[in-house]
Structure 1
Amino acid sequence: MDLLDWHRGSLSTRRLAVLVKHLPRDSAVNRDLHGEIVEWDANTHLLAGITDHLAVANWITITMNSDEEAEPLPYPEPVQRPGMADSKAEAPEEVQEQATELPSPGELSRFFG
């Protein structure tokens, strides 16, 4: 397809708009308009979410089973996504508070009682 056909009159504006609208998601036009976000499809976003959840689950497991005197592990950073700021991930406030307050042996025995 020659885009000069639009200037020559043999390609209608409507047809040109339809062609541009339905370009592949990884086309140069879409990459120029939307950036690197076009390279991430739904499956890639789902895999990143699964990876983030698995990292948090591992962090919780290790934190719960570590020794009381052990240094607390840093909260896991999420997978970098397109358009996401480069800021470090921080644990939710309630997790940060709980990480410093360890339960007493009596509280643990009542809980697991």
Structure 2
Amino acid sequence: MPGGLEGPPGTQEHRGRLSSRRLAVLVRHLPHDGALARDLHGESADWTVTDHLLAHMADQLADANWMFATVNRDEDAEPMEFPSPFPRPGSAEGAAESPPPTATSAPDAADAAELARFFAS
């Protein structure tokens, strides 16, 4: 293997052979919908561009249906309520239920001195 490292990538850390550069590369290439991304970004990590576009299309369809029904309703009928948008990650409703975690709110967050000691070894 290149660099004289034998075994799977995760095993070098336990043998003291994983460089900080290699660790940074491994972390940078973690999946966008993985556990780390979900922990850092909350529910928005699970949403792709396609999901956002589909939610927008659902909103547009609901608006168009509301407009059609409003224009074609009986004059004596009560007006229909405007449709609410499809909930998105980080929206006002979602933010009130569970605020996204921050680096300072994590009880086991590493401070600068601890990170310096880790990368120095």
Q: Provide Cα deviations, 1:37-75, integer angstroms capped at 9, x if missing partner.
A: 011001100000000000000000000000111100000
Work out the CA distance in 1 between the residues paired with 2:22 and 2:35: 19
Please, what TM-score do these two structures have when normalized by structure 1? 0.70
Q: What is the count of residue pairs matched by the alignment?
A: 86
Query: Does the 8 Å contact 1:6/1:12 carry over to 2?
Result: no
- Matched residue, 1:2: 10
Structure 1 pair 53–3 and aligned structure 2 pair: CA distance change class (3 A): farther
Work out the CA distance in 2 between the residues paired with 1:19 and 1:56: 44
Structure 2 runs not aligned, ≥5 long: 1-8, 95-121
Instruction: Report the 3-state secondary structure (helix = DSSP H, G, I; strand = E; otherwise coil) of the residue aligned with 2:92.
Output: coil
- Matched residue, 1:90: none
Share of identical aligned residues, percent? 51
Work out the CA distance in 1 between the residues paired with 2:66 and 2:13: 59
Work out the CA distance in 1 between the residues paired with 2:22 and 2:81: 54
Structure 1 runs not aligned, ≥5 long: 88-113
Equivalence map 1:36-51=2 (5 Å): 36-51=43-58
CA RMSD of aligned residues (A): 1.8
Q: 1:15 and 2:22 equivalent?
A: yes
Q: CA deviation at 1:11?
A: 1.2
Q: CA deviation at 1:7?
A: 7.5
Instruction: Report the 3-state secondary structure (helix = DSSP H, G, I; strand = E; otherwise coil) of the residue aligned with 1:45.
Output: helix
1:84 maps to which of 83, 91, 101:
91
Runs of 4+, deviation exceeding 4 Å: none
